[in-house]
Amino acid sequence: MSSSAEKYDVFQAIADPTRREVLRLLTEQEMPISQLTAHFPISRTAIAKHLHILSEAKLVSGRKVGREKIYRLQPEPLAELKQWLTYYEQFWNNKLSILKHVIEHDGES
């Protein structure tokens, strides 16, 4: 598969801290690329590549307004991430409960 045909999933998309920050900014309001670029010490081209990956993962969408493209957050794919994290949260909660029980009852033997 060539890199131009590569599709990104939500996990790949959020793996990069810049893309996570772009998502955070888009939770506050829709923005054109020029406004997003002002928040980062990287080029407009780099931000466009990040937006492309986020778009491939269906985490953002863009609409043309005049000569600009306005980007907005599409949070629905994050439900997959939440479901995945919930499983591991239960796992860690169980492990921590066991550890707490062992620590609290360690001196009782």
CA separation for the pair 78, 74 (Å, rounded): 9
Q: Say what the pLDDT of residue 109 is.
A: 54
Give the pLDDT band (50/70/90) at residue 3.
Answer: very low
Which distant-in-sequence residues (6+ apart) come within 8 Å of 46 by Cβ? 18, 40
What percent of the chain lies above the pLDDT cut of 90?
Answer: 62
Amino acid identity for residue 31 in this structure: M
Query: Mind listing the pLDDT tens digit for each residue in 25-39?
Result: 999 999 999 999 999
The answer to whether 58 touches 74, Cβ cutoff 8 Å, is yes
Query: Mind listing the pLDDT tens digit for each residue in 89-105?
Result: 877 777 777 888 788 88
CA separation for the pair 28, 9 (Å, rounded): 23
Determine which of 8-12, 30-34, 42-46, 51-55 has the lowest per-residue pLDDT on average: 8-12
Give the pLDDT band (50/70/90) at residue 107.
Answer: low
Which distant-in-sequence residues (6+ apart) come within 8 Å of 65 by Cβ? 32
Q: Say what the pLDDT of residue 85 is.
A: 84
CA separation for the pair 87, 94 (Å, rounded): 11
